[in-house]
Amino acid sequence: MTDHEPLLEWVERIAMHLAGDGVPPIAGRVLGWLMICDPPEQSAGQISAAIGASRASLTSNLRLLSSMGFLAWRTRPGERTVYYRMADDAWAAVVRRQIAGITSFLDVTRDGLTLIGPDNERATRIRRAHAAFQWMAEVFETAPPLDPVQAGPHQDT
């Protein structure tokens, strides 16, 4: 086993975990790699070589991850190469968007209950969805804010 193999096994664990949430495996591997690579900024060629992805599939997944707020990119003076890295607050930003989606879905379920009536037997499925999302919204509303000091370097959770 090379020194690189344990890193790639961890990257694959990230990819498989995220695949359960519908994230394409290549995108999951990119995220995993950019979480653990050194240096933290990598070109598409470096990422492709590290995770074994074709440049074509890598390009579309880099675009997807950038649009989702996971990645930041930049060029260097005098170079045409684009370098990618994890956005500083990528995970917190994604979670905030998911929380906003929960709140938005509550509006949709509330409208559904108004449309067919909350006591209508057909409303059972909507009420269940509404109750689950209401519970999640309340949990997040009462959760303490993310402490950026704990998220900083050299902190174990």
C-alpha 129/C-alpha 30 separation (Å) is 33
Residue 132: Cβ within 10 Å count: 13
User: What one-letter code names the amino acid at 128?
Assistant: R
pLDDT in tens, the chain (157 residues): 567 899 999 999 999 999 998 999 999 999 999 999 999 999 999 999 999 999 889 999 999 999 988 999 999 999 999 999 999 989 888 888 888 888 899 999 999 999 998 788 889 999 999 999 999 999 988 888 877 666 555 555 4
* pLDDT (0 to 100) of residue 4: 83
Largest CA distance in the chain: 67
* pLDDT (0 to 100) of residue 121: 84
C-alpha 61/C-alpha 55 separation (Å) is 10
